[in-house]
A and B are shown apart, each in its own frame.
Chain A
């Protein structure tokens, strides 16, 4: 495949677990500055797709190109350093550390063993932490132990940890799971702000939320793409109604 303008180009991607094809010859292209939402029934392979892109699972066949660079053979930390950030489904933060420290640890400097030994908390780090904390609405709770945050705040903190790295592609797995209505609204606003200057892939089930944020929606089913397009197109697609949205 020749080079493209896409930030992310996934082609003929296949992964099989003991013969079961969780992802089956899948193609997916994501533009710059695009906010893409992936929906689909349970077991459609949405999370597996993110796992493949970030290197957590290894592809059986196919290619994943990020800014025209092949990702399938790189170790996970290299993929992150190229500019792909991944948020997990359940909030994955360091509960014993303060909010400040959680963000600081994610700052992309001193990533080697000896770099980490020599790392100093200088003004650049502090400024960046404060900026990101303000973005995710945790500026007032910087000194709080992260384990004491509410569920929604933990989700935001993890998004903030990814923003510290300033990734070009951000992948969020069900970012509003377990959030209150108010928190969902704030998250939608946050996503709309942070997708400026970077591409974002979101996996989500909540259709109202999807409607609010999505530029383009991809529907997955049994490891394949069932439909792709604007929310309206997808919603009126009879195949999608059949397998996912229901009549």
Chain B
């Protein structure tokens, strides 16, 4: 038992297990299917938030265009589902049966070449992962090699989000335009709208999310994680220690894009549509808020951030639709000013030390000597280093 506790302390896996318990046991038992499906949808955003922890928290590079990769993943999956839903029998009233309905409305008479790969499910899965990563690589390589960073990088990624939205809306015949891709029904003949399918997709999302957290934790604890933090704080020292700083940033950007794409694909599967409203500037900024509220240095925190902000969004937008945007903006500003490390920082810097002081005081209480004052906030304590660096595994 003590070795297990020691392992939890050393690896920081305790909080991951707690999250797993919440997602796998508590939510499915306590929430009805409608709410659980909503949680599943929020978890898709959590993938993006995880990517932002790696890119923004660790890499020090803020991207305001993660919706691009979320959208690319989502659209890739949607294209496959749309093709499956557009078989010649169900679309026989169209002037060209067998192509998606929006193509028919836009006078297309044949499926465009670049849609063909999305007839195959394995190929779709591959493209969902590869295309966003590759695009991130090209953008990242072009920018980081030229030492574009900080605000300029954020603005350019935001512009890319806008460009993609305009492109999707403008090319209605190929993309479904502003409506997006709707009426997605089956995955390889399996109806994704049934109750059992919703449960299964929820658990698949949770599994992928927990897997992603473990992967990111491993990266953080590797030398690469240490280097990302080092170049965030002392870029020149890393560069003049013989490292090509730009390629490490490209890696972080690609990783963030890959995670976002997985989130996008799971979103399409669970929600049943994909539209440009999930790609553009506003959703991209919202995704940054999820990571900021949860804590940009904490993977688990980012997941809670995505859940909490989205719960708030659903609740408040149902009750006070006009007020919601202001509330969210206020929350973001409040977090940035009040506790820049988000909920996770609030926990490690305030709640945990307070709890430890309390426990220490209770232990010392029966002794007649006045209880020793707890040491001033223990910043060097293992596993409690939000701003700095987790100790590397030996």
Contact = CB atoms under 8 A, between A and B. Distances in A.
A110 B394 CA distance: 15
A77 B230 contact: no
A121 B394 contact: yes
A154 to B, nearest CB: 12
B179 interface: no
A231 B241 CA distance: 32
B87 interface: no
Nearest to B218: A117
Given A92-B237, A96-B229, A117 B389 contact: no
Contact of B241 (A56, A80, A112): A80
Interface in B227-248: 227, 229-230, 233-234, 236-245, 247-248
Interface in A96-125: 96-98, 101, 104-106, 108, 110-113, 116-119, 121
- The residue in A77, A108, A118, A145 that gathers the most chain B C-beta atoms within 10 A of its C-beta is A77
Contact of B244 (A56, A77, A101, A105): A77
A194 to B, nearest CB: 17
Nearest to A113: B251
Interface in B278-294: none
A75 interface: yes
A76 B223 contact: no
Contacts of A86: 240
Given A117-B222, A121-B394, A81 B242 contact: yes
A88 interface: yes
A54 interface: yes
A117 B248 contact: no
A95 interface: yes
B383 interface: no
Contacts of B222: 116-119
Contacts of A77: 239, 242-245
Interface string B302-314: 0000000000000
Contacts of B251: 113
Interface in A163-191: 165
Interface of B: 219, 222-224, 226-227, 229-230, 233-234, 236-245, 247-248, 250-251, 380, 385, 387-389, 391-394
9 contacts: A77-B242, A77-B244, A94-B230, A94-B234, A94-B389, A96-B229, A96-B387, A112-B247, A165-B242
A165 B238 CA distance: 12
Given A80-B241, A92-B236, A108-B242, 20 more contacts: A56-B236, A76-B239, A81-B242, A93-B234, A94-B229, A94-B237, A96-B229, A96-B387, A98-B391, A101-B226, A104-B392, A105-B241, A111-B242, A113-B224, A116-B222, A117-B219, A118-B222, A119-B222, A121-B392, A121-B394
Contact of A119 (B223, B229, B237, B389): B223
B389 A97 contact: yes
Given A95-B233, A96-B387, A121-B392, A80 B219 contact: no
A225 interface: no
Given A119-B223, A121-B392, A97 B230 contact: yes
Interface string A9-41: 000000000000000000000000000000000
Contacts of A161: 237, 241
Contact of A80 (B234, B240, B247, B250): B240
A149 to B, nearest CB: 14
A88 B226 contact: no
B241 A116 contact: no
A116 B387 contact: no
A158 B226 CA distance: 17
A172 to B, nearest CB: 13
A119 B225 CA distance: 11
Contacts of A93: 234, 237
Interface in A63-101: 75-77, 80-81, 85-86, 88, 92-98, 101
